Amino acid sequence: MSEALKFHYVVDGQDFTSAGHASVMVKKNLRQLGLPPEKIRQVSIAMYEGEINMVIHAGGGVADVSVTEDYVEIVLTDKGPGIKDIEQAMQEGFSTATDNIRSLGFGAGMGLPNMKRYSDFMEINSVVGEGTTITMRVNIN
Amino acid sequence: MTVRDLLTSEKFSAISLPDESREIRNVYIGDLLSWVMGRAKADDAWITIMSNVNILAVASLADTSCIILAEGVTVDETIKATAMDKEINILTTNMNIYETAIYLNGLL
């Protein structure tokens, strides 16, 4: 199997208006690689939700995307407060976002559920007070 | 129907129109961005009253054919410029969301 293509992005936690930049870049790159549109959509949506979560809750982080022949893998790493109760956080509608975030149209408690819905594999590793790492994979074949 | 076809009606006006030949296949309505992101389909016309800059990322990633701002909502110049840059069509209408949906239903 040929070597995976890797992309690395820094997600700025200070700038809510530029959230989504990394996901849009990934979408562009995947399009150039000629991936099927539905797969690109899955990857972009899952990654955007993750990016927004890092901006809202963790003050930013980093995103590493690798593309292999079989899947696209997204690893999101932050040094935020961590997720106390992952099972609760995975429920649609559960959110700890502030009113300010809600007024921007986020904080509906759909972020993590959307990430799960749009990826074929998702794993959350979170330590309260240390940070969170989320790995998602979208199968191509 | 294309985005251009919609603009032949005086009920809509263009805020940004980088890709007017984009086909509209269906319609999605919503203001909660994560909800829209998860449910809207590619080539939907997306009707909303949200006007902050994040609508551009949502439209781009969900691959909607255009954003329709209802109730006469508009966006500032910075968002307009970014929309052109990211190739996102944005239209505005004075109709409310319900009227806009009915109008589109008649055309699809």
ipTM: 0.71
- Superfamily the domain B3-107 falls into: HprK N-terminal domain-like (3.40.1390.20)
The residue whose two tokens read 């995103």 is A63
Cβ contact B61–A110 (<8 Å)? no
Examine the pLDDT at A1 and tell me if it is beyond 70: no
What's the domain range around A59?
A: 5-139
Using CA atoms, how far apart are residues A101 and A120, in angstroms rounded to an integer? 28
Q: Say yes or no: A29 contacts chain B, CB-CB below 8 A.
A: no
Number of domains forming the structure of chain A: 1
Mean pLDDT of A47-69: 94
Element holding A65 (H helix, E strand): strand A60-67
- Residues in chain A, total: 141
* Residue in chain B lying closest to A92 (CA): B35
- Identify which of A70, A58, A68, A75 has the alpha carbon closest to the alpha carbon of residue A22: A75
At A90, list the tokens: 């995975």
pLDDT of residue B86: 87
CA of B57 to nearest chain A CA: how many angstroms apart?
A: 6
Please state, in angstroms and rounded to a whole number, the distance separating the CA atoms of residues B50 and A38: 26
The pLDDT, as a whole number, for residue B27 is 98
Quickly list DSSP for B15-59. EE-S-TTPBP-EEEE-S-HHHHHHH--TTEEEEES--STHHHHHH
Tens digit of each residue's pLDDT (9 = 90 or more) over B15-71: 999 999 999 999 999 999 988 988 899 999 999 999 998 899 899 888 899 999 999
Q: What is the pLDDT of residue A16?
A: 73
pLDDT at A50: 95
**Helical (H) or strand (E) element with A26:** helix A21-32
CATH number, domain with residue A95: 3.30.565.10
Closest CA relative to residue A46, chosen from A65, A18, A69, A70: A65
Considering only CB atoms, B53 lies closest to which of A17, A41, A45, namely A17
Q: Hunting for tokens 């110049």 — which residue is that?
A: B77
Q: Read off the pLDDT band of A17 (50, 70, 90).
A: confident
